[in-house]
Amino acid sequence: MSNQVFVLGAGMTGLAAGFASGLPVFEAAAEPGGICSSYYMQPGRSQRLSKVPKDGEAYRFEIGGGHWIFGGNSSILHFLKRFVALKEYHRRSAIYLKGQDLFVPYPIQNHLSYLDKKIATQALVEMNSQEGSNQTMKQWLKKSFGESLCGLFFYPFHDFYTAGLFDRIAPQDAYKSPVDLNAAIQGALSGTQPVGYNATFVYPQEGLNVLAQRIGDSADIRFDKRINKIDLKGRQLFFEDGTTQSYDKLISTLPLNEVLQMSGLAAGNKSDPYTSVLVLNIGALRADRCPDDHWIYIPESSSGFHRVGFYSNVDREFLPASSHKDGKRVGIYVERAFPGGRRPSAQQSKQYAEDVVEELQDWGFIADPEVIDSTWLEVAYTWSWPGSTWKSVAIEKLNDANVFQVGRYAGWRFQGIAASIRDGLLMGSALKAIV
Q: What is the pLDDT along the chain (435 residues), one digit of tens a residue?
A: 357 999 999 999 999 999 999 999 999 999 999 999 999 999 999 999 999 999 999 999 999 999 999 877 889 999 999 999 999 999 999 999 999 999 999 999 999 999 999 999 999 989 866 677 789 999 999 999 999 999 999 999 999 999 999 999 999 877 666 677 888 888 888 777 777 777 899 999 999 999 999 999 999 999 999 999 999 999 999 999 999 999 999 999 999 999 999 999 988 778 999 999 999 999 999 999 999 999 999 999 999 999 999 999 999 999 999 999 998 999 999 999 999 989 999 999 999 999 999 999 999 999 999 999 999 999 999 999 999 999 999 999 999 999 999 999 999 999 999 999 999 999 999 887 666
Domain assignment present for residue 112? The answer is: yes
Same domain, residue pair 59 and 97: no
389/350 Cα distance (integer angstroms): 39
283/310 Cα distance (integer angstroms): 10
Count of domains observed in the chain: 2
Q: What is the DSSP string of 314-347?
A: H-GGGS-GGGTTT--EEEEEEEEEEETT-PPPHH
Domain final position from 157, 189, 221: 189
81/22 Cα distance (integer angstroms): 20
Domain assignment present for residue 282? The answer is: no
Domain assignment present for residue 243? The answer is: yes
Domain final position from 189, 220, 246: 189
H or E stretch at 135: none
H or E stretch at 180: none
Same domain, residue pair 46 and 180: no
Same domain, residue pair 116 and 71: no
253/33 Cα distance (integer angstroms): 12
Same domain, residue pair 75 and 99: no
Domain final position from 158, 189, 220: 189
Domain assignment present for residue 173? The answer is: yes
Same domain, residue pair 109 and 26: no
Same domain, residue pair 178 and 230: no
Domain assignment present for residue 276? The answer is: no
Task: Collect all residues with Cβ–Cβ distance below 8 Å to 180 and sequence separation of at least 6.
Answer: 110, 195
Contact call for residues 197 and 81 (beta carbons, < 8 A): no
Same domain, residue pair 42 and 184: no
Domain assignment present for residue 152? The answer is: yes
Same domain, residue pair 36 and 183: no
Same domain, residue pair 68 and 99: no
Domain assignment present for residue 278? The answer is: no
316-340 pLDDT, tens digit each = 999 999 999 998 999 999 999 999 9
Same domain, residue pair 164 and 99: yes
**Closest of 64, 21, 5 to residue 423, by C-alpha:** 21
Domain assignment present for residue 288? The answer is: no
In the prediction, which pLDDT does 68 show? 94
Structural domain including 395 reads 1-84+207-269+387-435
Same domain, residue pair 180 and 49: no
Neighbours of 129 (CB within 10 A): 8
Contact call for residues 192 and 108 (beta carbons, < 8 A): no
The pTM for the full model equals: 0.94
Same domain, residue pair 98 and 182: yes
Q: What is the CATH number of the domain that holds 229?
A: 3.50.50.60
